[in-house]
Amino acid sequence: MNFAPRIPFANRSDYEVKHGQIKQLNPQNQLVIRADAAEYFPVLYSIPWRYNTPIILNYDVSSEPERLAAITKARKTRNITITPRIALAYDHTKGGISVYFPFYMNNFDDISGLVIGIYEIDDTIRSVAKNFNDKPGIGFDIIDTESNTPIYSKNDSIIWHSANFNKQANYLIGDRNWQFTCYSSKEAYNRSVSIKLFKARYKFTEQAVKLGRTQSLLKAITADSKAVLEAIADPLFALNAKGEIVGANKHALTLTGYSPEEIKVANKMHINTLLIPVAETPTEERNNNPLNGDYQLIEVPVRPGMRDVLAKKKDGTLFEAEANFSQPVVEKNYFTQVVMFRDVSFKKENERAVMDAKRDADLANQSKTEFLFFLCHE
């Protein structure tokens, strides 16, 4: 931890009389007397992290471009700023970062100085990621995305592979964004791919076995269902939620004259094409001529129960029938409703014949009564 006051050029001589000459590093990384500048930020106090950490007093932290850029930003924003990875002044073999806390004696004045945190970044990250670093074949990099410069690399020899096997995360460190990338070595990469492939193959095999069992079960269920449908004596249609016919048994096909290919989902034949409802309270004309006239369509989904309908064959002829609609079965996206119907033309003809005979008998009885009444009156 260091403290560096701001020393304007006019105050340099007074400062150096009290604390010694202000210094900078030359291109050979040697400490030399600082060249003239408008201002300086020499390290006045230093608290080393370890007892053996070197201390460099009077080193002007603004004499180096990366440090100066961070200091300028701190003065502008009045917030903490961080440098990219830089060589430490006391040991150029070590990389680190500097964290600058701007210090003000008065809120309305310019910066008075800097409190500076110095981090040996390699030792710090190795200490934090000690357990992770023990894993062979796995490495990670940290990049400062603002300057696009590396902060840390666990193993420079590890080769990067497909992004599918890399994991990245971004974190805001002070005022800078650090991107962490975790990756694997060639051996770890191959091992990971092999494990994934074996797991995928095992899962595929397991799913194939389950699928085979399911297909066998579906075939058995389909065969059983088909046998049950064909065993039902009455004609039968299966409907979807729109009232379209999605299936029919052999008796329904024989009675209506359609083939299995003509009644399937692709054709979307509607139930109104085959079954026409008869009014619940038919007029006398409709009762006498049930196969003539206009009729309303069946509303879908159809209300369960028995009702009289007119069934229409493929050739256009009509016959009277009784239709029994089941309760709809709704399960998630699955819907089905079954209707069974039978030809009752002969039954209805007999009922009308009985009604006609009764009406004739009633008329004859009424005529007889009127005749007897007339005789009695005479």
d(CA 299, CA 199): 53
Does residue 6 sit in the same domain as residue 122?
yes
| 79, part of any domain | yes
Residue 6 contacts residue 111 (beta carbons within 8 Å): yes
- Which of 104, 128, 152 marks a domain boundary? 128
- The whole-number pLDDT of residue 94 equals 86
Question: pLDDT band at residue 260, thresholds of 50, 70 and 90?
Answer: confident
Does residue 60 sit in the same domain as residue 96?
yes
Does residue 339 sit in the same domain as residue 354?
no
Does residue 364 sit in the same domain as residue 272?
no
| 41, part of any domain | yes
Question: pLDDT band at residue 190, thresholds of 50, 70 and 90?
Answer: confident
| 209, part of any domain | no
| Highest-pLDDT range among 91-95, 110-114, 341-345 | 110-114
Does residue 279 sit in the same domain as residue 376?
no
Does residue 75 sit in the same domain as residue 100?
yes
Residue 371 has pLDDT above 70, yes or no: no
pLDDT (mean) for 277-301:
54
310-327 pLDDT tens trace: 888 888 888 888 888 888
The proportion of the chain whose per-residue pLDDT surpasses 90, expressed as a percent, equals 24
| 162, part of any domain | no
- The whole-number pLDDT of residue 115 equals 95
| 193, part of any domain | no
- The whole-number pLDDT of residue 123 equals 83
pLDDT (mean) for 284-293:
49
Does residue 319 sit in the same domain as residue 244?
yes
Lowest mean pLDDT among 60-69, 72-81, 301-310: 301-310
pLDDT (mean) for 3-23:
95
CATH of the domain at 282: 3.30.450.20
- Which of 128, 150, 173 marks a domain boundary? 128
d(CA 44, CA 22): 10
CA dihedral 182, 183, 188, 192 (to 10 degrees): 80
Of residues 38 and 128, more confidence is placed in 38
Does residue 246 sit in the same domain as residue 356?
no
| 84, part of any domain | yes
| 204, part of any domain | no
Question: pLDDT band at residue 224, thresholds of 50, 70 and 90?
Answer: low
CATH of the domain at 58: 3.30.450.350
Q: For residue 373, what are the domain limits?
A: 350-378
Does residue 14 sit in the same domain as residue 105?
yes
Provide DSSP, 226-291. Answer: HHHHHH-SS-EEEE-TTSBEEEE-HHHHHHHT--TTTSSGGGT-BGGGTEEEPPSS--HHHHH-TT
Does residue 336 sit in the same domain as residue 288?
yes
Average confidence score pLDDT of the chain? 79
As for how many domains the chain has, the answer is 3
Residue 99 has pLDDT above 90, yes or no: yes
Does residue 18 sit in the same domain as residue 120?
yes
Of residues 377 and 18, more confidence is placed in 18
Provide the CA 210 distance to its chain's centre, in angstroms: 26
Of residues 240 and 108, more confidence is placed in 240
Does residue 258 sit in the same domain as residue 367?
no
| 329, part of any domain | yes
- Which of 84, 104, 128 marks a domain boundary? 128
